Amino acid sequence: MKKTLAYLGTVLCCVLVLFACNRFVTRGLSIFTANTATVTAKAKVLEILKQDTTEYDLGTGNVISSTVTSFRCRILDGDYRGREVVGSQTIDGFSSNMKPVEVGDRVVAYLFEGTDAENAWVFGGYERMEALSVLLGVFFLALLVFGRKKGVNTILSLVLTCLMVFAVFVPSILTGHNIYLWSTLTCLYTIAMTLLLVNGCNVKSLAAGLGCMGGLLVSGLLTLGMDRVLVLSGMLDENSMYLSLLNQENPINLNAIIFAGILIGAMGAVMDVGMSVAASLHELKLQAPDIPWKQMVRSGLTIGRDMMGTMANTLVLAYIGSSLSVVLLLVSYTTSLSELLNREAVIVEILQALVGSLGILVTIPLTSLICGLLYQRLTLRPEEPEKRWNIPLRFARKPKQEGLPYSFAGTAAAPEWPEEGQTEPQEQPTGEETEEREERENLE
């Protein structure tokens, strides 16, 4: 009952903090109001009316074609729901990979201000949310089947994380709040909320949380320092230019956007490593109650080394994959490798990967050290032994000459330590073996 109340209290606190932050940062904010004269609606294609193709000579020997497809469709939502209208799809040389509309396709159509509501709808893309919702449902179902109770907690933490980013952090940027502060608060909230919901309020979550915060602190300080050293302007592409013009009275700090992107991007990997090390050492302590804290720290470092390479690769490959199109374009229009590496867009991608990887490297030893200190007084509660693995040996201190600081524990009695010169413990003789040996000695 106490655990249930604690869990519900944690969820309630997380929701209340989220709600309070949202109300604070969204005061005076209006979103989804740009170009309200344009009507957007979902539609289903009923009939293909005609298709016209025109070729254009650009004068350089290149000929491009433009295909305009007219179709009749039924509007599925909005003020025009149920009405059958005529729309058009244009496919030119810049969108040659786009699939022509067919009967039965679900599309997104636009109606611009001052145009005929019956015959001037424009194809804006295919309706993709239905298929994406199915995939999301499969993902949630897999979490529930595999994780059960923790799967539910994982889904809840994922939803709250997305709400924190899109309902608090993004509005805070649009309303002119300090991006450095709110990106840091977003990361702290996400770490605390995720660990408390998924693992509960315990020493394991505390150790993982402190390790993650330390790793993120180092990542943030490195980002601030390298921002000055590299003399970054924040103008990475045309999107950065649009952001700078979004609010001319209170322009968005583009360097702060870079800081927030690096910090939030590294948070997932840092949290993964911190929780993995804390959970592994927690289980080790439960199975080896007498393990010295120095040996526990060394074990944490060993575990961390195995994760270090894969997690660093995860960050690097994630950033490469997200910017692959930009990299291909820059490589095609750059005369040398040094020029390519000095472009700010490439520099920022490299900086993200390096800072995130360094955050991971700091998280591993820091979490191991914190676990070694916090787990010293950790003991099993009386109701927990049946949940432990059935390991046949008991942890006990060995003499220093044995060279082993501890042994494995379980429910069976500890074996005798080997005599001088032996490498394996002797087995305890049974009662019958003892009687037979005494009879042989008497006969001799």
| Dihedral pair phi/psi, residue 70, rounded to 5° | -95, 140
| Dihedral pair phi/psi, residue 342, rounded to 5° | -90, -5
> According to the 3-state scheme, what is the secondary structure of 53-121?
EEEEECCCCCEEEEEEEEEEEEECCCCCCCCEEEEEEEECHHHCCCCCCCCCCEEEEEECCCCCCCCCE
**Type and span of the H or E element at 51:** strand 39-57
Q: Name every residue whose Cβ is closer than 8 Å to that of residue 233 and which is 6 or more positions away in sequence.
A: 254, 255, 344
Report long-range pairs for 298-307 (Cβ below 8 Å, ≥24 apart). 299/368, 300/364, 300/365, 300/367, 300/368, 300/369, 300/371, 300/372, 301/364, 301/365, 301/368, 303/276, 303/277, 304/273, 304/277, 304/364, 304/365, 304/367, 304/368, 305/364, 307/273, 307/276, 307/277, 307/364
Distance in angstroms (rounded) separating the CA atoms of residues 100 and 89: 8
- Over the stretch 122-174, which tens digit does the pLDDT of each residue have? 998 899 998 899 999 999 999 999 988 888 988 999 999 999 999 999 999 98
CB-based contact 394:300 (threshold 8 Å): no
* Each residue's pLDDT expressed in tens, for the chain with a length of 444 residues: 777 888 888 899 999 999 999 999 988 777 665 555 688 899 999 999 998 888 777 666 677 788 889 999 999 988 889 999 999 998 887 666 788 899 999 999 998 877 777 778 999 889 999 889 999 999 999 999 998 888 898 899 999 999 999 999 999 998 889 999 999 999 999 999 999 988 888 889 999 999 999 999 999 999 999 999 998 888 887 888 888 888 777 888 999 999 999 999 889 889 989 999 999 999 888 888 888 888 889 999 988 888 887 777 877 787 778 778 777 877 787 777 788 788 888 888 889 889 988 999 999 999 999 998 888 876 644 444 434 444 343 443 444 444 444 444 444 444 444 444 455 455 555 556 666 666 666 655
